[in-house]
Structure 1
């Protein structure tokens, strides 16, 4: 289990270093996750990851709700800022959601036409 946690942290560290050294607009943990995925594909082409890595991932996902606590605290602390800018925030949230839905739908239609 220690090896699996170490592997996750090493991938995140490499991702952070690459993101900062290469000035990439992608967060380091995302790069690390891609690197871990590629390493797993190369090492385990049959698709079955090590059991220890699965247990560590399940444990982290089981505690994922704790990561929302800082965001909730931030909302409460900055409630006055949210109240002052509620209209622009709502427009950005609704507009961004609608735009993402339209783009996803158009992309899905194009892919279905091409391969369907």
Structure 2
């Protein structure tokens, strides 16, 4: 369990260091998870070394959305004032993601 935490938090720390040194405008957690993916692909980190902690975090993923959900309650006035722009942007972006994902999937199937 300690090794699993060390690997995951180590990748997060490397992501923080990368963002600090390069001033990339990406969240350090994303960089860290990309680094973890790279380490897994290269074989530097074995899947069994992080599987237990990863399974635990994924199983409890909904719990991590509680604080942001509660924080939204502070902004109900702004959300209600801008409801239609938010709703329309959400619907359009969802449709675009579905369409682009479908096109990419069809393209990949044709290539294979």
**TM > 0.5 between the two?**
yes
User: 1:101-112 maps to which residues of 2 (within 5 A)?
Assistant: 101-112=98-109
Pair 1:55-2:64 in alignment = no
User: What RMSD over aligned residues (CA atoms) do the two structures have, in Å?
Assistant: 1.9
Q: Distance in 1 between matches of 2:44 and 2:20?
A: 29
* Unpaired stretches in structure 1, ≥5 consecutive residues: none
Alignment of 1:1-116 (within 5 A): 1-43=1-43, 49-50=47-48, 52-115=49-112
Change (3 A) 1:67 1:22: same
**What runs of 5+ residues in structure 2 fail to find an aligned partner?**
none
**Could you state the TM-score of these two structures normalised by the residue count of structure 1?**
0.83
Q: Which has the higher contact order (CA 8 A, sep 6+)?
A: 2
Equivalent pairs counted in the alignment come to 112
